[in-house]
Structure 1
């Protein structure tokens, strides 16, 4: 299957943290689109997983993003896959949809770790952030070269819906408009 399978999907929201976000280029767009993905995932029954990098130093996830504490992984490694138990929370056949910051550090290293662990990954270009646009674009190109798919928020939502007959179609469409 070339499209994202909603039955196998997992939304991974990486490090949208309070002390980091003021430095992120166009952070408002990344946060807004991450929230759209979270809302659509909840509505469609897609599991969610959140990470926080060195929360003592970078603070908690920004208040604008509704973190589910039982789905939060605290980490010190930039690559979440190196944290004990992280990969146990990502099914082997998962289609992992990734949003987060910083694109060229924690997102990239985590995606490369997921790919190395044979997980299918999709990075959501308009829900990623870095301090400098060139770091974001370079990371996107690198992750793509190693096998991740590049998507946008709307691509993800429509592939999760699959059909306009989906009973959650109207509610989901209102989230992305």
Structure 2
């Protein structure tokens, strides 16, 4: 499986990592990270990109936060899978990626230096192109995220932003979804700026 640097909607899956209720008071700029995740679900529907969600030890850490409404995705929501492994690369997730002939994943959630990092490294080793949203990941300690992202970039992941990914997947303004797409971009502009300011240090630009 080749590592693509250019995303295409037909071969991409969004991975939502462990955005659960018990982390709300523990993770740096949790609300900003959730706003990016929510935006990505909106664009998943517009662009017809499948979404896989994991929950780490949900008995102890709760379910996915209610702000992330998966119902509108219908069949694009491939599944929500519990796990105890820090990495999302658990058998049911890998089976779904393989079944869909996935070439690239877009990864966001928590924590950047633990579950996000281990997922990215495992999927890179498996041959997938891994795109990590700098404005869509966080950790309990804010200093962890930039270090984790630097490590992942060195390992071969693409460190990017939510808006970069959505426009790359849209690709062509002549597509019939473009009017809905631009309306969603405009609606998300305030929270996009907030998330970038909160989660992407200027020193990393």
TM-score normalised to structure 1 length: 0.93
Alpha-carbon shift at residue 6 of structure 1 (Å): 1.3
SS of 1:90's partner is helix
Alpha-carbon shift at residue 2 of structure 1 (Å): 3.3
CA deviation string 1:9-31 (max 9, x = no partner): 10000000000122111111111
Matched, 1:85 2:92: yes
CA deviation string 1:98-121 (max 9, x = no partner): 011111111111111111111111
2-side partners of 1:70 and 1:169: how far apart? 24
Counterpart pick for 1:71 among 68, 79, 84: 79
2-side partners of 1:107 and 1:133: how far apart? 14
Partner of 2:41: 38
2-side partners of 1:80 and 1:2: how far apart? 21
1-side partners of 2:152 and 2:85: how far apart? 18
Moved over 6 A (4+): none
1-side partners of 2:136 and 2:84: how far apart? 22
2-side partners of 1:30 and 1:75: how far apart? 21
Partner of 2:6: 3
Gaps of 5+ in 1: none
Alpha-carbon shift at residue 70 of structure 1 (Å): 5.3
Q: Against the structure 1 CA distance between its residues 24 and 176, is the aligned structure 2 distance closer, same or farther, given a 3 Å change threshold?
A: farther
In 2, are the aligned partners of 1:80 and 1:86 still within 8 Å (CA)? Answer: yes
Gaps of 5+ in 2: 72-76, 187-205
Counterpart pick for 2:166 among 157, 160, 176: 157
The answer to which structure has the higher helix fraction is: 2
Partner of 1:123: 132
Alpha-carbon shift at residue 85 of structure 1 (Å): 2.8
1-side partners of 2:139 and 2:120: how far apart? 15
2-side partners of 1:70 and 1:144: how far apart? 27
Alpha-carbon shift at residue 93 of structure 1 (Å): 4.2
Matched, 1:50 2:53: yes
Alpha-carbon shift at residue 171 of structure 1 (Å): 1.3
Partner of 1:60: 63
Partner of 1:97: 106
TM-score normalised to structure 2 length: 0.81
2-side partners of 1:152 and 1:141: how far apart? 14
